[in-house]
Structure 1
């Protein structure tokens, strides 16, 4: 079935500081930065200081850099597909080999592309990778299915990725010949390659290659696990090209050490171009997502290893099998066992073949992926805190991202949150009016990743893992007091039994707490405006840790409430709870963000590098946080929390009985 998302044709009512944001947040924030710096200068003009001028220059430079970074986040947007021309040349040629991939079940293989331009070869010539192979405009249709050659460009879609012709052939201009290596993944359709001149700004197609295809293009792929609604439930989601009317999606599963296997039917969803909100998601960025299947594995034994394999049963009774894998089931709430959680945000995707597409994300996100994959047996659950693929309206990038993270998502629950690059679009109901999603308005992310959210379009949820309770917010929807999300968060915080689940964690993409990121400092808020409205909930319900992304670096605060550090301890927190520690872990792979050029009293640790955080609960009273860099997996920051539930609930530890069980009572 096709998921239909309600179009909310209203603008969220926000306070002045938020409603002033324009569609180009970078430009508007540059204006805000200038206003902030100007106001600072005016306040001090009776006391001139030579540093004022330096401060103004630094702040303007920082925000200008952020605006540029935001603009360059999707390299496919650099290609002016709407300007493309077709001028095939007899003296130009291009070919790819091998032309058949996946003969042994491989889902990714390299091909060699050879090309020739006998006359007028230029350094700006480039090779585009297209899928489906037929990318001529004659195949393009409007969203309602009516062809419109006048309204569509000569090419009906952007390429999946690209490289310049001289990437590995430095003598290309002189010789007119070259070759490139491309890594292709099974994306349910065939491939072809185009040789272009005119750079990406004025592309002119000169030659088209032969077709390259996989032996089983429709086969299941990109497996991803997630927690279900119940603590003893895991969902298995995957992608294929089989609709439910032609093949039944199934999951075969059982205890790893047991020969007995169960077949569980899966549900199937998809989405269409009509479900998106704007260009490029509805135009040159569109590509069929295939079908998304989810099976629910229920009544699992706690902390046990399970085997699983996805499949499709065809009408003739035969099966098309996907890969098999293994996962460990969740511990029951309160189970006193070793439990390890990874949290980070803002990952992005990169091409292992060195394609220009997303080269700016190397080596960050690939290092994050590979470092985690090499140690996956020492992690139980991963939470990617928003801004996942940075597809920004180019649907092919979601397939590329799912393939990138499959070594992680197929082994442990891979939980995600909604970020601005998944959700934001003007007049779509998002809290912010930016165009960061490229017209996706949350549809691909919320369909591809099956989270235990009561309302998938709103995408906030709670999930438990043994001794942990995670309350996961959606900062792209209104969270202020009196809203539905506020009520959800208070219920999530208040309903946990801290005797069984002592570690209460808040997770949100944008910084609702504290950050020294340059653009937050320029706004003078050090967080999202109104974000700290939630402080009274964090304090009331003794939230241990609050995690954010959005700012692409690492930062840790003191235990802080209303801008005041309630402890100067940096490495070991014990005894009664005093305030929440805030952690920005946004260095998953996207281009790094600068810190403000000054220090704040509440910022204890900063790191301008790619990395992730790991929480380890050894028992009900001992929690370790480690921050590791993606490049080497080594620990660069850590601290301990040692606390008993009576400390959390504010009871007198000298008494033998603590009447409070949850903070709601």
Structure 2
């Protein structure tokens, strides 16, 4: 057939209304996330034939993840124009996971009974992939420090800062009194020590499974020393090659302060701006927002934040730890953020301490297979309390400790490990309370995740409550 004949046939087909099928496209912009973007991504798709209400975009990191190992997903029907086969969605607050993101568009499962999560919402089955976006990465991903948070040490003239990088190379903390210029070499510099943990250290699903595990990077720990009491200091962390964090500031502890300002709460969790394997609390954003407002109003008055267990509610999904630390950084990078362990950081069926009365207390999988490891590495509280996990994982830390802040002596306990009379924790609490100087700290605040006094009628709460009252209450009265 001659070329002219082919052109004639093509023209005839087009005249009859026959068209070629366009490929479905999915784009994610910008390709590089910077601080001014507030880590927001816009997803756009087009040419999706016969769109359905359960079509979705799934979120992945790293891009090599299998289709079923998604971080979360967004239903396309959240876009006003989804029924046309084209639309856009915004994803704010994507933390730096030290690896690029990728987005994949899937057709929803057919029929009226798709798989659902614990809240009754549809879960992706990742069986009908239609389009894949380009990669999206954070500027300086992995090298630039992230997730800064402060904590007191055992010394009144020190302040600890922890942060995350993608590699374990040398990092430092630079600090000095606010107002002094760093370039005039009036700032001190101290090294930060790196630590991490591996997938093999997790003790169960989903923490040790490809769906939940993401490498945590390296947690760096640096201590600023010889601080003048009640003084504002500026600091930043990082190095010259990988980059430095923004400059933050804090008020150092003042042992002679005549007041204490503290924010106390538990069970905060973190919000994720897409669907995931369970509901994430949007209310946690408001909590951080109002604490930040109050801290700014305090100006140069020091404060302490006390998060009493059930920290990120990651429950084995590592992504949520990254979201949590990015969410609290605006307050935790300027105010010491203290924690104690809860069931959602620690509990798993083979945990070491399981007394007979706790058969219905410590037998769950609330920790999602983390067995306290992320909690122990990502935070560093005063004292040196620790317990073996019973596996080859790092010891569980940050169990019980105390500190003074102004006129208050704060005591933190672990309700998840042995606290009965004669245990190491009991002996520590008893001795600590006996040493309290009531003329200096007339107020004592005692904190633990599970309540000693509660209106709950659940059998497990009653058993735990009875043991705490029997063994600990005599220390307080």
Per the normalisation by structure 2, the TM-score is 0.82
Give distance in 1, aligned partners of 2:70 and 2:353.
Answer: 27
Separation in structure 1 between the aligned mates of residue 346 and residue 239 of structure 2, nearest angstrom: 31
1:487 to partner: Cα distance? 0.7
Q: Per-residue deviation at 1:107?
A: 7.5
Tell me, in whole angstroms, the C-alpha distance in 2 between the residues paired with 1:321 and 1:496: 40
1:510 corresponds to:
450
Q: Are 1:537 and 2:459 matched, yes or no?
A: no
Aligned-partner Cα distance in 2 for 1:415–1:107: 30
Aligned counterpart, 1:230:
155
**Paired residues of 2:105 and 2:131 also in contact (CA < 8 A):** yes
Q: Which of the numbers 362, 366, 369 marks the counterpart of 2:285?
A: 366
Gaps of 5+ in 2: 1-20, 110-121, 355-361, 387-395
Q: Cα distance, 1:258 vs. partner?
A: 3.7
Q: CA RMSD in A?
A: 2.2
The verdict on how the C-alpha distance between 1:437 and 1:359 changes in structure 2, with shifts beyond 3 A counting, is: closer
> Are the structure 2 counterparts of residues 189 and 369 from structure 1 closer, same or farther at C-alpha, using a change threshold of 3 Å?
same
Distance 2:334 2:308 in 1: 18
- Three-state SS of the structure 2 residue aligned to 1:501 is coil
- Confirm or deny that 1:182 pairs with 2:91: yes
- Indicate whether 1:454 and 2:377 are aligned: no
**How far apart are 1:527 and its partner, in Å?**
6.1
Q: State yes or no: 1:213 paired with 2:137.
A: yes
- Report deviation, 1:201: 5.1
Does structure 1 conserve the Cα–Cα contact (< 8 Å) formed by 2:400 and 2:425? yes
- Residues 344-379 of structure 1, C-alpha deviation per residue, up to 9 Å, x if partnerless? 00001113x4x2348944442111010011121336
Q: What is the CA distance between 1:472 and its match in structure 2?
A: 0.4
Q: For residues 306-345 of structure 1, what are the structure 2 equivalents within 5 Å?
A: 306-313=233-240, 318=241, 320-332=243-255, 335-345=256-266
**Mapping for residues 263-342 of structure 1, pairs under 5 Å:** 263-283=189-209, 284-313=211-240, 318=241, 320-332=243-255, 335-342=256-263
Aligned partner of residue 166 in structure 1, secondary structure: helix
**Any gaps of 5 or more consecutive residues in structure 1?**
1-88, 137-153, 540-665
Q: CA deviation at 1:263?
A: 0.4
How far is 1:430 from its partner? 5.0
What does residue 249 of structure 1 align with?
Answer: 171
Residue of structure 2 aligned with 1:100, choices 17, 32, 39: 32
Misfit runs of 4+, over 6 Å: none
Residues 259 and 406 in structure 2, CA contact (< 8 A), matched pair in contact too: no
Give yes or no for contact 2:157–2:252 (8 Å, CA) kept in 1.
yes
Q: 1:158 to 1:453 in 2, by over 3 A?
A: farther
- Of 426, 434, 454, the residue aligned with 1:486 is 426
Q: Secondary structure at the match of 1:263?
A: strand
What TM-score, normalized by structure 1, do the two folds share?
Answer: 0.59
Q: Who is 1:162 aligned against?
A: 73
Q: Distance in 1 between matches of 2:38 and 2:75?
A: 22
How is 1:296-445 mapped onto 2 (pairs within 5 angstroms)?
296-313=223-240, 318=241, 320-332=243-255, 335-351=256-272, 353=273, 355-357=274-276, 360-377=279-296, 378=298, 380-429=303-352, 431=354, 432-445=362-375
Counterpart-to-counterpart distance in 1, 2:449 and 2:334 = 24
Instruction: State the distance in 2 between where 1:524 and 1:507 align.
Output: 17
Pick the aligned partner of 2:411 from 459, 471, 486: 471
Partners of 1:268 and 1:207 in 2: CA distance = 39
Equivalent residues of 1:193, 1:208 under 8 A apart: yes
2:51 match: 121
Once the two structures are TM-superposed, the CA of residue 506 in structure 1 deviates from its matched residue by 0.6
Deviation at residue 117 of structure 1 after TM alignment: 5.9
After superposition, residues 585-600 of structure 1 pair within 5 angstroms as none
Query: How many positions carry a matched residue from both structures?
Result: 414
- Partner Cα distance (1:201, 1:361) in 2: 17
Q: CA deviation at 1:297?
A: 1.2
Cα distance change of structure 1 residues 114 and 319 upon mapping to structure 2, 3 Å threshold:
closer
The 8 Å contact of residues 280 and 438 in structure 1, kept in 2 or not, is answered as: yes
- CA–CA separation in structure 2 for the residues paired with 1:232 and 1:111: 42
